């Protein structure tokens, strides 16, 4: 998928660009290594619990990369 900008509603909540549901914010966690690889989900990101998409910020931009969970 193409990088997207997340829009906020009048309450300041980010909305999923695909289904317009309020996204859940997942704060940054300490880095974890599992089987010699960095564990996904340690960086701060948004999760759509409706369509199961994850939005990770792209460094030094206002855009987010989207992928299915």
Residue-wise pLDDT for 13-28, tens only, equals: 999 999 999 999 988 7
Q: Can you list the pairs that 17-25 forms with residues at least 24 positions away whose Cβ atoms lie under 8 Å?
A: 17/66, 18/48, 18/51, 18/53, 19/48, 19/50, 19/51, 21/48, 21/49, 21/50, 21/51, 23/47, 23/48, 23/55, 24/48, 24/49
- Total domains in the chain come to 1
Question: What is the band of 38 on the pLDDT scale with cuts at 50, 70, 90?
Answer: low
For the segment 18-41, the average pLDDT, to the nearest whole number, is: 81
Does 14 map to a domain?
A: yes
Is position 1 within any domain?
no
Task: Give domain status of residue 19, yes or no.
Answer: yes
Is 2 a domain residue?
Answer: no
């Amino acid at each position: 998928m193409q990088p997207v900008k997340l829009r906020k509603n009048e309450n300041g909540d980010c909305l999923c660009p695909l289904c317009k549901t309020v996204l859940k914010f997942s704060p940054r966690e300490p880095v974890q290594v599992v089987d010699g690889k960095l564990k996904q989900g340690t960086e701060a990101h948004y999760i759509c619990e409706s369509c199961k998409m994850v939005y990770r910020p792209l460094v030094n931009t206002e855009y987010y990369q989207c992928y299915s969970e």
